[in-house]
């Protein structure tokens, strides 16, 4: 069973739509990661905890590119751009060194939009 999200919302920029779920704690995020059929699970050590994760959407009919799951009690200032980078890289498949500005801009804008929504909701400062 999925833990109840504190908030669920969507942000978009330049054809990339991200569904964001904010869970109360890192423990909730880790539990959802380990139980999710949507995630290609990488081996994680026994003492390793998942602070946030991205579940890309492979369906062409999906309304969003990926779902990002974050912990309100986590390191949001680090976790948001980290997970957004996964989405942008997945969407763009590869980024040539001469074209990384578009990817970097997308990461910055999407990260800022997620952060603003979480702060406005009073979940983080």
Q: Could you read off the pLDDT of 19-55 as tens digits, one per residue?
A: 999 999 999 999 998 887 766 656 666 678 888 999 8
The residue among 102, 70, 97, 96 whose CA lies nearest residue 83 is 70
Q: Where are the domains of the chain?
A: 7-120
Contacts of 22 (CB under 8 A, 6+ apart): 5, 6, 7, 8, 70, 71, 72, 118, 123
Is this structure's pTM higher than 0.95?
no
| Residue 73 to residues 12, 98, 103, 107, 114, Cα–Cα distance (Å) | 24, 37, 28, 22, 15
Instruction: Pull the structure tokens for residue 86.
Output: 């996964």
């Amino acid at each position: 069973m999925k833990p109840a999200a504190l908030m669920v919302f969507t942000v978009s920029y330049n054809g990339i739509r991200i569904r964001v779920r904010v869970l109360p704690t890192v423990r909730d995020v880790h539990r959802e990661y380990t139980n999710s059929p949507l995630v290609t699970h990488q081996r994680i050590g026994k003492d390793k905890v998942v602070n946030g994760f991205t579940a890309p959407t492979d369906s062409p009919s999906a309304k969003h590119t990926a779902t990002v799951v974050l912990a309100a009690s986590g390191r949001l200032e680090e976790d948001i751009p980290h997970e957004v980078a996964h989405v942008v890289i997945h969407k763009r498949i590869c980024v040539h060194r001469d074209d990384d500005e578009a990817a970097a801009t997308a990461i910055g804008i999407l990260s800022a939009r997620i952060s603003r929504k979480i702060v406005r909701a009073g979940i983080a400062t």
